[in-house]
Amino acid sequence: MLRSHNCEELRLTDAGNTVTLCGWVQRRRDFGGMSFIDLRDRYGITQLSFNEDYNVELLNEARSVSREFVVKITGEVTERSNKNPNLATGDIEIVVNTLEVLNPSLTPPFTIEDDTDGGEELRLKYRYLDIRRNPVKEKLLIRHAANKSIRNFLNGSDFVEVETPYLIKSTPEGARDFVVPSRLNEDQFYALPQSPQTFKQLLMVSGLDRYYQVVKCFRDEDFRSDRQPEFTQIDCEMTFVEQSDILGLFEKMVRNLFAESVDYDLGDIPVLTYADAIKTYGSDKPDMRFDMTFKYLTDVAKGYNFGIFDNAESIIAVNASGAASLTRKQIDAITNYVKRPQVGAKGLIYCRVNEDGSLKSSVDKFFDQEALAKWVESCNAKPGDLIFVMSGDLAETQKQMNDLRLHLGDLLDLRTKDTYKACWVVDFPLLEWDDETGRYHAMHHPFTSPKQEDFDLIETDPKNVRANAYDMAINGMEVGGGSIRIHDKELQQKMFDLLGFTKEKAKAQFGFLMNAFEYGAPPHGGIAFGFDRLCAILTGTESIRDVIAFPKNNMGRDIMIDAPSPISKEQRDELGL
């Protein structure tokens, strides 16, 4: 090694030793006859000291190096007079004997400090410099720790990592595939996997019992703010399991992950049915960090000649505890928020519970104190609380109330960054109706099994069939999902029929899986976690881009290497493109 120690490991007990360090110049401070350099590497910072009394030539050399120069020094570990308790190495400094510049550096296009002056595009272009900054580096290190924690847990639970292929077959259901032209098979294409779903099911048919893989998946979507064309999945599958086994095991895995990688106790993970989640939170991925659950005023708020309520299918309230002090202006801003087209509410009604117990609502014309008292009772509101109410079509109002609830959570600081709350949502509907295509789509995917007790609804009332499907959400974000799969060929065929696959199409696309079901397919189920999303949550960042070493921008471009890019005529010719 070019160094004897890294920049984090020297302590007072090393004083007197001669050491060699390599690293980057974080900063240099010049005083009268002396200079100090903070030398940085991945592990930490060590102070280098130069003094004209000791070696004036060396001092001059030191003064010729600038930020981000790579240097190698030897010197003596010495106790610092002016100790820095915030630095692991803060008790010592190196009195330098020799200094070698291993590589100079131009002035970086943005400052390499925790708080930088660089905009996102610039930092993406020079991502290799951005990673030198602690907040970026730390996220990659936490990602590594998370990867290790998950692997250790799964390895210890008899899971076998199996690498499934990346060059597979296009199945143009759902999202778009990225395709790869085959040079040796004219006019034919591989596809990059959107998930290893069918392969992991085949591994269960093969008897491997428990499979996992940390695996890249690909989706050619129109990019939105927080999508990446390639993303990483923690993909798992188990044989001879029931839903409760999967929930139990992966609750452990995720609790373990939070404990090991960010030292956080996630606590027990509650299980909600999809129906309850929608009823209580208006969302299948509720943010459980705060309560503010939905209360239904449909029974108590009708019949007061307030047409909007009287004509509404549902009237839903939330109680913003302690929010009575919100000003009229603030309430107007909230009203405008829910009236934005993205939320789409027609209006917002409030009822303030004053400290003296009196009630003040925006519909006092229709509702007297007695009528409003029923709202307060339904919402369990106390003096100082503020009740918000919306009404209309049930599903629409639930959706709008969810938006409102999350918005209030933000405003009232109830969605704190350093708090994590997870939940399971189970019993998802098997199918959802798609108006555009005029047929059912699988809510999870076509391999998800219906609940046995709902089997007879498949023919008569498909949309009320519940699936053995489950999602995990943390802080209102879906982080994982899975299901108990179909392992019976007839049921799988019925499912394909329901989804409008012709027999030919089902055979062409999934014939190998249907075939496999003929040869002793065991009951099995699994789950996949979005690893980028998990890491974003663990590191307290909004964007998955922050936890990806070399992310693409919103147009799917890697602006550092400038990809995608044109290819040569020879390449196109060879591929017949």
Q: Please tell me the distance from the alpha carbon of residue 337 to that of residue 323, in angstroms, as a whole number.
A: 17
Q: Please tell me the distance from the alpha carbon of residue 422 to that of residue 420, in angstroms, as a whole number.
A: 7
Residue 263's alpha-carbon distances to 259, 290, 417, 477, in angstroms, are 4, 21, 15, 20
- The answer to the question of residue 189 lying near a second copy (CB under 8 A) is yes
Report the site for a second copy in 355-374 (rule: CB under 8 A).
Answer: none
Q: Which is nearer to a second copy, 216 or 340 (CB)?
A: 216
Please state the closest distance from residue 521 (CB atom) to a second copy, in A. 5
Q: Which of residues 39, 59, 99, 205 is near a second copy by CB under 8 A?
A: 205
- The answer to the question of residue 566 lying near a second copy (CB under 8 A) is yes
Please state the closest distance from residue 183 (CB atom) to a second copy, in A. 6
Q: Which is nearer to a second copy, 162 or 412 (CB)?
A: 162
Instruction: Fill in the DSSP letter of residue 1.
Output: -
- Mark residues 157-186: x for contact with a second copy by CB under 8 A, - for none: ---xxxxxxxxxxx-x---xxxxxxxxxx-
- The answer to the question of residue 3 lying near a second copy (CB under 8 A) is yes
Please state the closest distance from residue 230 (CB atom) to a second copy, in A. 5
Contact, 301 vs 361, CB < 8 A?
no
- The answer to the question of residue 258 lying near a second copy (CB under 8 A) is no
Q: Which of residues 305, 437, 452, 568 is near a second copy by CB under 8 A?
A: 568
Report the site for a second copy in 33-92 (rule: CB under 8 A).
Answer: 40-43, 68-70, 72
Q: Please tell me the distance from the alpha carbon of residue 572 to that of residue 83, in angstroms, as a whole number.
A: 63
- The answer to the question of residue 206 lying near a second copy (CB under 8 A) is yes
Please state the closest distance from residue 218 (CB atom) to a second copy, in A. 7
Q: Which is nearer to a second copy, 3 or 279 (CB)?
A: 3
- Mark residues 116-155: x for contact with a second copy by CB under 8 A, - for none: ----------xxxxxxx----x--xx--x--xx--x---x
Q: Which of residues 39, 45, 48, 191 is near a second copy by CB under 8 A?
A: 191
Contact, 15 vs 1, CB < 8 A?
no
Report the site for a second copy in 329-358 (rule: CB under 8 A).
Answer: none
Q: Which is nearer to a second copy, 124 or 422 (CB)?
A: 124
Please state the closest distance from residue 164 (CB atom) to a second copy, in A. 6
| Phi/psi-derived region of residue 187, left when phi > 0, alpha when psi is between -120 and 50, beta in every other case | left
- The answer to the question of residue 575 lying near a second copy (CB under 8 A) is yes
Q: What are the φ/ψ torsions at residue 267 (nearest 5 degrees)? A: 70, -175
H or E segment and range at residue 392: strand 386-392
- The answer to the question of residue 311 lying near a second copy (CB under 8 A) is no
Instruction: Residue 46: name the closest of 25, 30, 67 by CA.
Output: 25
Q: Which is nearer to a second copy, 463 or 503 (CB)?
A: 503
Q: Please tell me the distance from the alpha carbon of residue 451 to that of residue 484, in angstroms, as a whole number.
A: 9
Q: What are the φ/ψ torsions at residue 536 (nearest 5 degrees)? A: -60, -45
Angle subtended by helix axes 243-262 and 134-155, to nearest 10: 140
Which class for 140: exposed (0-12), middle (13-18), buried (19 or more C-beta within 10 A)? middle
Report the site for a second copy in 484-503 (rule: CB under 8 A).
Answer: 487-488
Number of residues that bind a second copy (CB under 8 A): 119
- The answer to the question of residue 437 lying near a second copy (CB under 8 A) is no
Instruction: Residue 49: name the closest of 104, 58, 41 by CA.
Output: 58
SS3 letters across 252-319: HHHHHHHHHHHCCCCCCCCEEEHHHHHHHHCCCCCCCCCCCCCEECCCCCCCCCCHHHHCCCEEEEEE
Please state the closest distance from residue 339 (CB atom) to a second copy, in A. 33
Please state the closest distance from residue 484 (CB atom) to a second copy, in A. 11
Please state the closest distance from residue 439 (CB atom) to a second copy, in A. 18
Which class for 54: exposed (0-12), middle (13-18), buried (19 or more C-beta within 10 A)? middle
- The answer to the question of residue 2 lying near a second copy (CB under 8 A) is yes
Please state the closest distance from residue 55 (CB atom) to a second copy, in A. 24
Q: Which of residues 35, 47, 89, 232 is near a second copy by CB under 8 A?
A: 232
- The answer to the question of residue 452 lying near a second copy (CB under 8 A) is no
Q: Which stretch binds a second copy (CB under 8 A): 50-58, 263-271, 393-401, 547-555?
A: 547-555
Please state the closest distance from residue 135 (CB atom) to a second copy, in A. 13
H or E segment and range at residue 469: strand 469-474
Contact, 23 vs 67, CB < 8 A?
no
Q: Which stretch binds a second copy (CB under 8 A): 266-274, 412-420, 442-450, 545-553?
A: 545-553
Q: Which of residues 12, 95, 208, 308 is near a second copy by CB under 8 A?
A: 208
- The answer to the question of residue 233 lying near a second copy (CB under 8 A) is no
- The answer to the question of residue 259 lying near a second copy (CB under 8 A) is no
Strand order in the sheet with 524-530: 160-161, 210-218, 230-239, 524-530, 477-484, 469-474, 422-426, 271-273
- The answer to the question of residue 555 lying near a second copy (CB under 8 A) is yes
Cis, peptide link before residue 551, omega less than 30° from 0: no
- The answer to the question of residue 523 lying near a second copy (CB under 8 A) is yes
SS3 letters across 121-185: HHHHHCHHHHCCCHHHHHHHHHHHHHHHHHHHHHHCCCCEECCCCCCECCCCCCCCCCEEECCCC
Q: Please tell me the distance from the alpha carbon of residue 92 to that of residue 297, in angstroms, as a whole number.
A: 67
Q: Which is nearer to a second copy, 109 or 344 (CB)?
A: 109
Please state the closest distance from residue 293 (CB atom) to a second copy, in A. 34
- The answer to the question of residue 505 lying near a second copy (CB under 8 A) is no
Q: Please tell me the distance from the alpha carbon of residue 305 to that of residue 461, in angstroms, as a whole number.
A: 37
- The answer to the question of residue 522 lying near a second copy (CB under 8 A) is yes
- The answer to the question of residue 407 lying near a second copy (CB under 8 A) is no
H or E segment and range at residue 411: helix 394-411
Please state the closest distance from residue 99 (CB atom) to a second copy, in A. 15
Report the site for a second copy in 234-253 (rule: CB under 8 A).
Answer: 239-242, 245
